[in-house]
């Protein structure tokens, strides 16, 4: 009899817990769920690209930026997973096809070509991310996700400015000067 009562109590507790999770999931808007999915896969892509850049980049500033992406997006991803878990939202574990294609494409490059493509991607991606996170901070329904989006948007804006500066001053300037010197040397060699 005691075993039956304990078993029934355990079943009731599990059903109540399942009901709480279902209620949490139902209370999260479609926009909030979409934001979690896109933010999670976006952070995942930033970390993976950062790992690739830390190995393939030629420019030291690009490597340093890549490490910042690994650290900051890894931290943001962990925070988002915790919030999503509390809300009963499933977080994607894999990149979407478009993101995977970007990783595959960049993985094929190296040196100067990689640095340019990576930093171009970081500028474009962070422009898109800042917009999405600001939208979520203003129009999202869930207060925890809105707060996460607002604080993370500030960091993303810093990343965007840093990416623009590195892209313009370090990558474009560095490689532009390097290419000019190479062309000048080639012309001098041809004239000999």
With a CB cutoff of 8 Å and minimum separation 6, the contacts of 49 are: 66, 69, 102, 103, 106, 118, 121, 122
Instruction: Evaluate whether residue 14 is within a structural domain.
Output: no
Count of structural domains within the chain: 1
Residue 24 and residue 18: Cα distance in Å, rounded?
Answer: 10
Supply the pLDDT for residue 170. Answer: 75
Assess contact for 76 and 155: CB atoms under 8 A. yes
Residue 17 lies in a domain: no
Per-chain mean pLDDT for the chain: 85
81 domain-assigned: yes
The answer to whether the beta carbons of residues 122 and 25 sit under 8 Å apart is no
* Separation CA 88–CA 65 (nearest Å): 33
Percent of the chain with pLDDT over 90: 71
Asked if the structure places residue 146 within a domain, the reply is: yes
pLDDT at position 86 over 50: yes
The answer to the question of residue 1 being in a domain is no
With a cut of 50, say whether residue 19 has pLDDT above it.
no
* pLDDT mean over 34-52: 97
CATH code for the domain in which residue 172 is found: 1.20.1260.10
Torsions phi, psi for 124 (to 5 deg): -60, -45
Residues 110-138 have pLDDT tens digits of 999 999 999 999 999 999 999 999 999 99
Task: Give residue 24's pLDDT.
Answer: 46
Q: What is the DSSP string of 66-117?
A: HHHHHHHHHHHHHHHHHHHHHHTPPPPSS--HHHHHHHHHHHT--HHHHHHH
Using one digit for the tens of pLDDT, what is the confidence trace for 150-168? 999 999 999 999 999 999 9
Burial (Cβ within 10 Å: 0-12, 13-18, ≥19) of residue 158: middle
Residue 69 lies in a domain: yes
pLDDT at 181 (0 to 100): 53
Measure Cα distances from 135 to 16, 58, 73, 79, 162 in Å: 34, 35, 19, 19, 22
pTM of the model: 0.76
Note whether residue 100 is domain-resident: yes
DSSP letter, residue 137 = H
Task: Give the domain extent around 142.
Answer: 29-191
Which of helix, strand or coil describes residue 29? coil
In this predicted structure, what is the pLDDT of residue 11? 55
Residue 37 lies in a domain: yes
Report the pLDDT value the prediction gives residue 22, as an integer from 0 to 100: 41
């Amino acid at each position: 009899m005691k075993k039956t009562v304990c078993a029934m109590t355990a079943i009731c507790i599990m059903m109540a817990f399942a009901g709480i999770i279902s209620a949490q999931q139902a209370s999260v808007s479609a926009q909030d769920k979409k934001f979690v999915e896109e933010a999670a896969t976006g952070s995942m892509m930033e970390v993976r690209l950062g790992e690739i850049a830390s190995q393939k980049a030629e420019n030291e500033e690009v490597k340093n930026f890549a490490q910042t992406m690994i650290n900051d997006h890894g931290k943001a991803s962990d925070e988002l997973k915790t919030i999503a878990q509390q809300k009963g939202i499933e977080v994607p574990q894999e990149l979407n096809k478009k993101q995977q294609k970007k990783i595959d494409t960049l993985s094929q490059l190296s040196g100067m070509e990689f640095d340019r493509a990576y930093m171009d991607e970081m500028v474009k991606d962070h422009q898109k991310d800042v917009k999405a996170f600001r939208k979520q901070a203003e129009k999202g329904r869930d207060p925890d996700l809105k707060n996460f989006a607002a604080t993370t948007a500030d960091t993303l804006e810093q990343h965007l400015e840093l990416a623009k500066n590195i892209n313009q001053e370090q990558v474009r300037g560095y490689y532009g000067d390097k290419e000019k010197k190479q062309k000048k040397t080639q012309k001098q060699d041809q004239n000999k």
